[in-house]
């Protein structure tokens, strides 16, 4: 059920209704048989049907910030009283992204042929997540599309800002270490052999640090490294790239990410913040708790938390409280659980979730700032020891030349 929308296809149809005569429209279905069954249920005789032929790679070429900007533009234009079809035209004229233009044309065509906007958006699950589509569906029913697009844009902007902060905090040390590795390999490959040839003329034993560096240099420039190590590393990287969508590989990568010191708690807090914020937003729009959890499970990228949210959904459907089911999952911190439990007892779950999301967001930003401030001097110290150690080891024989001469 959670992946139902992923197999839906958009079909355009023409038919005849006993009440309305000739009709045309667009419909999401799993197959042609499904199309006929849906139209038959509406007492429509199908005359002609064609499958939508839009470009299948929207999600790979459209970035998250493109969709966020699109939602913000829709919110602003709709709040100004502009009709939905005119909003499509204005947004399409304002963008330079061809794939985004094609997406807008597809959505506009669906809406103009009688399909609901939320239903049309569900045909592009990699562009519009299930929670966003549910909010748009509520907005269509209650004539509050502008407000729903504003909620979606605000939520996406907050999530993207925190995700960039987490990536920046974790990518900085990795980038510095890669640079240090490249510099060290360059020194060992090109500089150390020159020093070795220069020291060979003196006919004296080199200091232990220098001999160690020379041994590493021999390994990097030797035939075994070129013929076995480099091809082996290339094969491993290629295999990982090919298997990056394999569920087992993704799960192993997630476990490695959570095992990194300091990274696990950040990921957990980010997931808790996102769950609280999305639940507050969807419940505030009138979406039932079980439906909101089902949509959020589809939008969660991490397998660990997706499985956890599905377990929470099953527990809630069995009649357990949200706080108890969240506690059983073991994925969320105590502060969030206390606030959810308090909201349930007081009958203010939606506002408690909103406050919990704000608190977790502020706390996460504070932790990221502290982490960035702590990592920088630590990484610089490692970089100095690595490169500085190489340089000192190379110049130790030079310091002893006075005794040789």
Output the CA–CA distances (angstroms, integers) from residue 283 to 181, 239, 240, 301, in the order listed: 50, 43, 40, 21
Q: Give the bridge partners for 10, in sequence order.
A: 28
DSSP H/E element including 77: helix 64-79
Q: Which of 204, 197, 191 is nearest to 402 (CA)?
A: 204
Q: Are 249 and 243 in contact (CB under 8 A)?
A: yes
Percent helix / strand / coil, the chain, rounded to 5: 75, 5, 20
Q: What is the token pair recorded at 86?
A: 């005119």
What secondary structure does DSSP assign to 353-392, as a single string?
A: HHHHHHHHHHHHHHHHHHHHHHHHHHHHHHHHHHHHHHHH
Q: What is the token pair recorded at 216?
A: 């590493």
Q: Which of 194, 226, 227, 231 is nearest to 213 (CA)?
A: 194
The residue ranges of the chain whose pLDDT is under 50 are 1-6, 54-60
Domains and CATH numbers, the chain: 1-53 (3.10.20), 55-128 (1.20.81.30), 143-405 (1.20.81.30)
Note the pLDDT of residue 84. 92
Note the pLDDT of residue 247. 65
- CA–CA separation, 7 and 152 (whole Å): 24
Backbone angles phi, psi at 19, to 5 degrees: -90, -40
Q: Are 70 and 150 in contact (CB under 8 A)?
A: no
Q: Are 75 and 150 in contact (CB under 8 A)?
A: yes
Note the pLDDT of residue 152. 93
**222 DSSP 8-state letter:** S
- CA–CA separation, 124 and 97 (whole Å): 17
Please give the radius of gyration of the chain, using alpha carbons only, rounded to the nearest integer: 29
Is the pTM of the predicted complex or chain greater than 0.75? Answer: no
Note the pLDDT of residue 317. 92
Note the pLDDT of residue 402. 56
pLDDT tens per residue across span 21-62: 887 776 767 788 888 888 888 888 888 888 765 444 443 467
Q: What is the token pair recorded at 188?
A: 């060992």
Q: What is the token pair recorded at 285?
A: 């729009």
What secondary structure does DSSP assign to 134-190, as a single string?
A: HHHHHHHHHT-HHHHHHHHHHHHHHHHHHHHHHHHHHHHHHHHHHHHHHHHHHIIII
Note the pLDDT of residue 57. 41
pLDDT tens per residue across span 240-268: 676 666 667 666 777 776 776 667 778 88
Sign of dihedral through CA atoms 38, 40, 41, 43?
Answer: positive
Note the pLDDT of residue 60. 44
């Amino acid at each position: 059920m959670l992946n139902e929308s992923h197999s839906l296809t958009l079909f355009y149809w023409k038919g005849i209704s006993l009440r309305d005569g000739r009709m045309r429209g667009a419909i999401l279905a799993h197959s042609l048989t499904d199309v006929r069954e849906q139209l038959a249920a509406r007492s429509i005789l199908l005359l002609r049907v064609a499958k939508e032929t839009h470009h299948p790679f929207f999600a790979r070429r459209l970035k998250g910030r493109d969709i966020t900007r699109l939602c913000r533009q829709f919110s602003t234009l709709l709040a100004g009283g502009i009709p939905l079809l005119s909003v499509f035209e204005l947004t399409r004229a304002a963008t330079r992204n061809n794939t985004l233009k094609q997406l807008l044309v597809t959505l506009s065509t669906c809406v103009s042929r009688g399909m609901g906007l939320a239903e049309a958006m569900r045909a592009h699950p990699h562009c519009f997540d299930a929670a966003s589509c549910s909010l748009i569906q509520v907005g269509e029913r209650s004539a509050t599309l502008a407000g729903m697009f504003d909620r979606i844009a605000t939520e996406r902007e907050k999530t993207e800002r925190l995700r960039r902060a987490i990536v920046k905090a974790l990518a900085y040390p990795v980038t510095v270490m890669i640079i240090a590795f490249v510099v060290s390999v360059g020194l060992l490959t090109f500089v150390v052999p020159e020093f070795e040839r220069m020291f060979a003329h003196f006919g004296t034993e080199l200091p232990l640090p220098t001999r160690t560096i020379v041994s590493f240099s021999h390994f990097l420039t030797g035939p075994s490294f070129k013929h076995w190590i480099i091809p082996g590393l290339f094969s491993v990287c290629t295999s990982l790239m090919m298997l990056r969508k394999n569920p087992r590989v993704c799960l192993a990568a997630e476990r490695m990410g959570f095992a990194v010191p300091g990274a696990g708690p950040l990921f957990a807090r980010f997931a808790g913040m996102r769950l609280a914020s999305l639940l507050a937003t969807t419940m505030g729009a009138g979406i039932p708790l079980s439906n909101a959890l089902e949509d959020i499970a589809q939008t969660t990228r991490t397998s660990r938390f997706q499985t956890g949210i599905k377990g929470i959904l099953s527990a809630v459907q069995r009649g357990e409280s949200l706080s108890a089911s969240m506690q059983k999952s073991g994925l969320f911190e105590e502060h969030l659980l206390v606030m959810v439990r308090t909201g349930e007892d007081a009958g203010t779950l939606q506002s408690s979730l909103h406050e919990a999301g704000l608190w977790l967001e502020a706390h996460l930003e504070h932790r990221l700032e502290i982490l960035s401030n702590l990592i920088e001097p630590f990484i610089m110290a490692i970089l100095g020891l690595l490169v500085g150690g190489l340089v000192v080891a190379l110049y130790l024989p030079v310091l002893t030349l006075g005794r040789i001469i």
